[in-house]
Amino acid sequence: MKKKKRPSIQPKHIFTILAALCLVLIVATSVSSGGNILRGGFNTLLMPMQKGFNLVGGGIFNRADNLIHLHNVEKENEQLKDELAELKEQNTRYQLELTELAEYRGLLKLAEQYPDYETVGAHIIGKNSDNWYKTIMVDKGSRDGIAVDMNVIADGGLVGIVTSVTPATATISTIINDNRNVGAMALNSKDACIVTGDLSLYEKGLLSLSRIAKDDDINNDDKIVTSNTSTMYMPGILIGYASELTVDANNLTKSGYLIPVVDFTHLDSVLIITSVKETGTGTSAEENPADSEAAEAEASAETTAAEEDSQ
């Protein structure tokens, strides 16, 4: 038995039906009462969908906007970090310049204390491996006019003496170095004495003060300066202050300590006196046995120290 064929609708019929339906809707919406009803129906049907689309679209937009804002914030943050790093670098340079300016002012003030001496400023670029500055190296040398035996000052007082030079640098042996003797005298009385370096003693902030005649007018807190009869050091340079003076066991001399005016643990820059002590041939040392003994002791100790420094 043959099956009956189902009636098929031709595409052109479907198109015709849809076109007719659209025409009806257009006509219906043109009628106010009927249009309101249809629009209400469409609104009821489409509003939830529109709200959903709005929520999804709004969420996507907000997400995109947040991402753009975050990217801008991160970019701005990186710029601020770069600016902060540059400001820190500028501040560091500024602080260094202020420090150098303060050092130069200190050196200028020190030079004014010794107007009779021509000086050259120098920065310390190295020191011995010990805790104390028994020997130091500075950034000025023979091409700057620096020579062996030139005196070195800082902090208002004597630092030491140049023991070797290169074209660009100079090595200085400080007065706190072991057995480094300096012919000295009291500023007021001009009575002679010897200041001797001692690294272990300097741990207490002191140097040795000796060879003082019992009846000489040198007392605690007196200013001790380089002697006129010193064989190596220019006269009148402040070394420090006398302290704890007592009469020696021989009952002929007295000795004690000297508090140096220079802080040898925090030296940054120095002044080098660009002239060398010229020892005269007068009789002043012969007229004062204490001065003669001090000069001989100083010369002997300095010769030994210079030999050690050269090694």
* Residue 72 vs residue 193, higher pLDDT: 193
d(CA 192, CA 34): 130
Lowest mean pLDDT among 3-7, 132-136, 239-243: 3-7
304 pLDDT exceeds 90?
no
Q: Which of 29, 31, 33, 30 lies closest to 42 in space, CA to CA?
A: 29
List Cβ neighbours of 253 (8 Å cut-off, separation of 6 or more).
210, 211, 212, 213, 214, 247
Q: With 70 as the cut, is the pLDDT of residue 158 above it? A: yes
pLDDT tens-place string over residues 116-152: 888 898 999 988 756 567 899 999 999 999 999 999 9
Residues 6+ apart with CB under 8 A from 254: 212, 213, 214, 216, 218, 245, 246, 247, 248
What pLDDT shows up at residue 69? 76
Mean pLDDT over the full length of the chain: 76
Task: Kindly tell me if the per-residue pLDDT of 253 is higher than 80.
Answer: yes
CA angle, 298 then 235 then 172, to 5°: 60
User: If you average pLDDT over residues 199-227, what whole number do you get?
Assistant: 93
pTM here is: 0.61
> What residue type is assigned to position 215 of the chain?
D
Q: Would you state the pLDDT for residue 115?
A: 82
Report, in this order, helix, strand and coil percent for the chain, each rounded to 5.
45, 25, 30
Would you tell me the crossing angle of helices 32-113 and 11-30 to the nearest 10 degrees?
Answer: 80
- Burial grade of 103 (CB within 10 A; 0-12, 13-18, 19 or more): middle
Residues 153, 115: contact at Cβ < 8 Å?
Answer: no
Q: What mean pLDDT is predicted for residues 53-65?
A: 63
The residue ranges of every structural domain in the chain are 51-113, 171-310
Residue 61 has pLDDT above 80, yes or no: no
For 171-310, CATH number out of 2.60.40.10, 1.10.3720.10, 1.10.540.10, 2.40.10.350 equals: 2.40.10.350
Amino acid 88: pLDDT: 73
Does residue 58 surpass a pLDDT of 70?
no
Higher pLDDT, 136 or 36: 136
Q: Which residue has the tokens 């023991």?
A: 163
pLDDT digits (tens, 9 = 90+) for 270-291: 999 999 987 643 333 322 333 4
Per-residue pLDDT, 143? 95
pLDDT at 293 > cutoff 70: no
The phi, psi pair for 218, rounded to 5°, reads: -120, 125
Lowest mean pLDDT among 168-177, 214-223, 259-268, 301-310: 301-310
DSSP string, 180-211: -EEEEEETTT--EEEEE--HHHHTTT-EEEEE
- pLDDT value, residue 281: 37
